[in-house]
Amino acid sequence: MRKGWLVAVAVAAALSGCSGEVANTASTAVQTQASVSLPAGVTLVESYAPKAGEIGIPFNKYQLANGLTVILHQDHSDPLVHVDVTYHVGSDREYYGRTGFAHLFEHMMFQGSEHVADEQHIKTVTEAGGSMNGTTNTDRTNYFETVPSNQLEKMLWLESDRMGFLLPALTDEKFEVQRATVKNERGQRVDNRPYGRVGEVFDQAFYPAGHPYSWPVIGWPADLDRATSQDVRDFFSRWYGPNNATLTIGGDLNEAQTLAWVNKYFGEIPRGPEVTSLAKPLVTLDKTRYVSFEDNVHLPLLQIGFPTVYARHEDEAPLDVLASILGGGETSILYKNLVKDGYAVQAQASHGCSELACRMAFIALANPAKGGALAPIEAKVRESIQEFEARGVTDEDIDKVKMQIRSQTIYGLQSVSGKVSSLASNETFTGEPNQVEYDLKRYGAVTKADVMRVYNQYIKGKPSVVLSVVPKGGEALIAAADNFTPTNPPVADKAVEGLTEEKPQVAQSSFDRNIEPPAGEPVTLHVPELWRSKLANNVEVMGTQSTETPTTSLVIYFDGGHKLEALSKAGLASLTADVLNDSTAKHSTEELAQQLDLLGARISFSANDYQSSIRVTALTENLDATIALLKEKLLEPGFVAADFERDKQQMLQMLQHESSSPSALASKGFSKMLFGDDMYLGVSANGTLSTVPNITLADVKAFYQKQYTAGNAQIVAVSDLPQASLMQKLAPIAALTGPGASAPTEPANTLVKANTVYLIDKPGAAQSVIRVGKLAMTFDVDGDYFKSTLMNYPLGGAFNSRINLNLREDKGYTYGARSMFVGGKEQGYFYVGADVRADVTDKALAEVMKEISRYHAQGMTAAELKFTQNSISQSKAMDYESPYDKAGFIRTIQRYDLPVNYIEQQDKILANANVEQLSQLAQKWLDPQSMGILVVGDKATVQPGLEALGYKVVDMTL
């Protein structure tokens, strides 16, 4: 646990944004002749490669005759490609009363097209060993796949078919299913989530009536009900033409072949209606507006927002620096004035920018231990703003933000998907893919005077919007009485404007698109070359060299964690990690945070069920200084009483907050059902409201001595440095001493009973959380556990699995459902989970159990086995791409003491698996009578239906 858990309150979505506004560019001049022979109708627009010492992403930019922009980036480090199609349309192109279309269309685009059957798009990508998704925000919608490089042509066939041939396959039935799915998504992410409505309530007060940002991206429920399938067709025809899209491909590709494929599959798609940019008038407020609402929450929340500029405006960079000074982490003024003194559990400032508008936002979660009233919190935020004015801007403030931008840029280059996303976003919003070096320069040019100028221009004395979110019945806690009620313009007559033809031009193809392109030659996996070594204190280090970016990632693992603590003091491992994230004997929390920020590094302590760990991320050029700080934090903790009391109070408030989260309740209830109260796995590693108050600072000190020792430690390292050089730099960690610790493990005392539902009452819940499961196998790489993960894949391990297709696509009960086997060293379990509409809780549970029963009795089919084999075998091309991926691979080998080539054994098992063998595992492990069932929902609503199914309903308390 760490203070960053506020992110889960879903406020971030209201503050995030994209790029926008054409900016200066660091690209080289446009080439007049391609380095490859270009297909007819394809034009090379620009070619870029970073100069010596310059940070950037090399690419070639092309344009087809129909206006489609194509960006290609070659990266042969791994045998994979990432394909991104970004359409410059988001919720900002909707009209009042006709909202939610951009997001609804994100769903519709996965439902098949004229030459791709229903559900076939996702199945094809999955069977190719790839992953895919789509996202929508205020300004753009994108669709992307990462696949082995030999599957590229197939991805272009899929993406082009839904760009040019979607409408013939769009049926009223598909529309209704996806409308239901979006409603379920809204229920799960907005209506059933604490603080889920913050963004939409705030935006209505912040933006003028009818402004493109004044409604939520997911849309208003009434607007979704109002939509028709013709509206959807019109929306597609208006915005999904190739001239409003950017196709970006990065990875292990042959550029000439890729261009030929792009031209073949996309070149014949007709150009869509012309698209013009939206106006960007600066948002203004006539006075400070107060709005509030009650929610099923524990921690009162205050959000204050000031209108500023729009993305890539010349003042964006200095406003970002200002936000960092005011509320950017533990060195900020807000942290000092609100969090440090305990008035708020968390407080932060950010300058979120989207294409049409930005805002300076301040968010604070009030500490109920100090009353929880939001008026004093607002006063302290405004006093902090005034304190900045008196304090001014320091050289370190500027240097810190410059380093943050530089380090974040470098870390963003660690994966092909990250580079492709950057190129695609920059092209969409600026018309220029290369903004990396330009961004570094514009932030590098910010001066102290610039920061004070934007403060005076946009913040000082300016009106703002102040939102209070308080617990049910907590109206007295709001910052001030509401003085604003949104006014709504008339509902728009049409979903779109600008369609010039009643029947849009239909694409004609010169080849048979019904033929799915074959895969290319099988790719050769680039399994990392691993090395092992030991520090002078005998701590094992296992690592690999990765030269794609000049960075180093380390994780120090300490065997123990939650299992090492007494259950009467559950949460001790997590609280100890929190305290170790704070002061040392030499420096305060703020001083350490400042030093790390100036290095572009991060050191983070955490703990989970079976280990404590320290994650270190550094630019290799600053690794020595980062290791010095790591040594200080690890070996010379401050154990400051004020830090401990603050961290303990925050942990208690977090636990109270979790009591309002259905998903958190389900997680805790499921663990209790499977393992009981006497085993560490049955009690949350974050502790409980009855255990955390028992923990003292003396307990933390004692746990530190027991946990953070050389005898418990192992290190994973991924760096651009060779082994010898890196081991030299890690030498200071050898000062760590101490023996290993052992923890006796109580056996699980499962509460699972046949035909029984454990029910956690959540009055008024818009959705119910269903969890089904049982105790199962411990982890292995070649036994029943591994083989059962293969067996489960078509049941609930893939999007096209039986459970998900039933509940999501066929019935419209849920946004998503899945099942899995989870194995640890000491215990494993089987799990099925879905968040469903409250009114179909009983029906959804019946369908889950029906699918389990059928699979238990009949097993998988030959077609499902083939799908599983193809998907899992080919997906291995993506297992080792980023430093994070490599570190996870290394840790698995290290933790379970596996041979380096264990993947080869798994490949053989996968290739030789047969239906009978895996079906026998289904018969052994998936008996529905052995399953425990947990439901979190409104008892009054769901209990009668559950009892009608024949289940005994037992109340569960946590």
- Give the pLDDT mean for 126-141: 94
Match 């200080």 to its residue by tokens: 632
Report how far residue 869's alpha carbon sits from residue 846's, in angstroms, rounded to the nearest whole number.
29
Domain tally, the chain: 4
- CA dist list (Å): 613 to 52, 93, 728, 884, 890: 38, 46, 22, 15, 15
Report how far residue 174's alpha carbon sits from residue 229's, in angstroms, rounded to the nearest whole number.
9
Report how far residue 158's alpha carbon sits from residue 712's, in angstroms, rounded to the nearest whole number.
50
DSSP string, 848-896: HHHHHHHHHHH---HHHHHHHHHHHHHHGGGTTSSHHHHHHHHHHHHHH
- Residue 272, token pair as written in the block: 């869509």
Q: Running DSSP on this structure, what letter comes out for residue 116?
A: B
Report how far residue 781's alpha carbon sits from residue 843's, in angstroms, rounded to the nearest whole number.
37
- CA dist list (Å): 595 to 396, 397, 655, 827: 10, 12, 31, 41
Q: What are phi and psi of 688, to 5 degrees?
A: -130, 170
Q: What are phi and psi of 183, to 5 degrees?
A: -60, -40
Same domain, yes or no: 287 and 262: no
Rg (CA), the chain: 28
Report how far residue 243's alpha carbon sits from residue 237's, in angstroms, rounded to the nearest whole number.
12
pLDDT at 175: 86
Same domain, yes or no: 672 and 554: yes
- Residue 233, token pair as written in the block: 């067709």
Establish if 539 belongs to a structural domain: yes
pLDDT band at 24 (very low <50, low <70, confident <90, very high): very low
Establish if 117 belongs to a structural domain: yes
pLDDT band at 125 (very low <50, low <70, confident <90, very high): very high
Which residues sit opposite 366 in a β-bridge?
Answer: 344
- Give the pLDDT mean for 815-837: 95
- Find the helix or strand (DSSP H, E) in which 260 lies: helix 255-266
Q: Is 619 helix (H, G, I), strand (E, B) or coil?
A: strand
> For all residues of the chain together, what is the average pLDDT?
92
Report how far residue 609's alpha carbon sits from residue 598's, in angstroms, rounded to the nearest whole number.
33
- Parallel, antiparallel, or unpaired for β 465-471 and 289-295? parallel
Long-range contacts of 462-465 (CB under 8 A, 24+ apart): 462/285, 462/306, 462/307, 463/285, 463/286, 463/287, 463/288, 463/289, 464/285, 464/288, 464/289, 464/304, 464/305, 464/306, 465/202, 465/205, 465/206, 465/285, 465/288, 465/289, 465/291, 465/303, 465/304, 465/305
Spatial contact of 100 and 84, defined as CB atoms under 8 Å apart: no
Same domain, yes or no: 403 and 314: yes
Same domain, yes or no: 343 and 400: yes
- Residue 540, token pair as written in the block: 């094992």
Report how far residue 378's alpha carbon sits from residue 363's, in angstroms, rounded to the nearest whole number.
10
pLDDT at 744: 78
pLDDT at 623: 98
Give yes or no for residue 789 having a pLDDT over 70: yes
User: pLDDT per residue over 311-343, tens digit each?
Assistant: 999 999 999 999 999 999 899 999 999 999 899
Angle 779-822-546 from CA coordinates, rounded to 5°: 70
Single out the residue in 219, 236, 266 at which a domain terminates.
Answer: 266
Establish if 223 belongs to a structural domain: yes
User: pLDDT per residue over 703-717, tens digit each?
Assistant: 999 999 999 999 999
Report how far residue 661's alpha carbon sits from residue 194's, in angstroms, rounded to the nearest whole number.
6
Angle between helices 784-792 and 915-925 in degrees, nearest 10? 100
Report how far residue 950's alpha carbon sits from residue 948's, in angstroms, rounded to the nearest whole number.
5
Same domain, yes or no: 89 and 229: yes
Spatial contact of 576 and 752, defined as CB atoms under 8 Å apart: no
Same domain, yes or no: 627 and 724: yes
Report how far residue 115's alpha carbon sits from residue 513's, in angstroms, rounded to the nearest whole number.
6
Report how far residue 852's alpha carbon sits from residue 893's, in angstroms, rounded to the nearest whole number.
32
Report how far residue 470's alpha carbon sits from residue 479's, in angstroms, rounded to the nearest whole number.
10
Establish if 34 belongs to a structural domain: no
User: pLDDT per residue over 862-894, tens digit each?
Assistant: 999 999 999 999 888 888 888 989 999 999 999
Single out the residue in 223, 242, 266 at which a domain terminates.
Answer: 266
Establish if 615 belongs to a structural domain: yes
DSSP string, 79-108: SEEEEEEEES--GGG--TTS-SHHHHHHHH
Same domain, yes or no: 693 and 762: no
Give yes or no for residue 758 having a pLDDT over 80: yes
Give yes or no for residue 411 having a pLDDT over 70: yes
Closest-CA residue to 198 (of 411, 361, 75, 35): 361
- CA dist list (Å): 768 to 187, 526, 759, 840: 10, 44, 10, 9
Cβ neighbour number for residue 232 with a 10 Å cutoff: 23
- Find the helix or strand (DSSP H, E) in which 657 lies: helix 641-658
Establish if 36 belongs to a structural domain: no
Report how far residue 349's alpha carbon sits from residue 13's, in angstroms, rounded to the nearest whole number.
14
Which residues sit opposite 344 in a β-bridge?
Answer: 366
Report how far residue 128's alpha carbon sits from residue 152's, in angstroms, rounded to the nearest whole number.
10
User: pLDDT per residue over 212-250, tens digit each?
Assistant: 999 999 998 899 888 888 888 899 999 999 999 999 999
User: pLDDT per residue over 472-524, tens digit each?
Assistant: 999 999 999 999 999 989 999 888 888 876 666 777 889 999 999 999 998 88
Give yes or no for residue 405 having a pLDDT over 80: yes
Report how far residue 301's alpha carbon sits from residue 573's, in angstroms, rounded to the nearest whole number.
28
Same domain, yes or no: 256 and 316: no
Q: Is 763 helix (H, G, I), strand (E, B) or coil?
A: coil
Same domain, yes or no: 110 and 214: yes
- Give the pLDDT mean for 609-615: 97
Give yes or no for residue 777 having a pLDDT over 90: yes
- Give the pLDDT mean for 297-313: 97
- Which residues, at least 6 apart from 370, have a Cβ–Cβ distance to it below 8 Å? 342, 343
- Give the pLDDT mean for 712-726: 98
pLDDT at 227: 87
Match 């072949």 to its residue by tokens: 257
pLDDT at 192: 81
pLDDT at 301: 97
Establish if 487 belongs to a structural domain: no
pLDDT band at 29 (very low <50, low <70, confident <90, very high): very low
Establish if 23 belongs to a structural domain: no
Q: Is 644 helix (H, G, I), strand (E, B) or coil?
A: helix
pLDDT band at 110 (very low <50, low <70, confident <90, very high): confident
User: pLDDT per residue over 828-859, tens digit each?
Assistant: 999 999 999 999 999 999 999 999 999 999 99
Closest-CA residue to 519 (of 112, 913, 122, 147): 147
- Give the pLDDT mean for 381-403: 94
CATH assignment at residue 573: 3.30.830.10
Give yes or no for residue 33 having a pLDDT over 70: no
Same domain, yes or no: 906 and 818: yes
pLDDT at 502: 63
Report how far residue 533's alpha carbon sits from residue 704's, in angstroms, rounded to the nearest whole number.
26
- Give the pLDDT mean for 913-933: 97
**Which structural domain, as residue segments, surrounds residue 454?**
280-415+425-477
User: pLDDT per residue over 572-588, tens digit each?
Assistant: 999 999 999 999 999 99
Burial 131-167 (b: 16+ CB within 10 A, else e): bbebebbbbbbbbbbbbbbbbbbbbbbbbbbbbbbbb
Q: How many helices (H) and strands (E) does the chain have?
A: 31, 24
Report how far residue 619's alpha carbon sits from residue 610's, in angstroms, rounded to the nearest whole number.
29
Same domain, yes or no: 287 and 430: yes
Give yes or no for residue 447 having a pLDDT over 50: yes
Same domain, yes or no: 235 and 382: no
User: pLDDT per residue over 146-205, tens digit each?
Assistant: 999 999 999 999 999 999 999 998 888 888 888 888 888 888 888 888 899 999 999 999
**Number of residues written out for the chain:** 958
Q: Is 173 helix (H, G, I), strand (E, B) or coil?
A: helix
Greater confidence (174 vs 753) lies with: 753
Report how far residue 426's alpha carbon sits from residue 563's, in angstroms, rounded to the nearest whole number.
47
pLDDT band at 526 (very low <50, low <70, confident <90, very high): confident
812: left (phi over 0), alpha (psi -120 to 50) or beta: left
Single out the residue in 205, 237, 266 at which a domain terminates.
Answer: 266
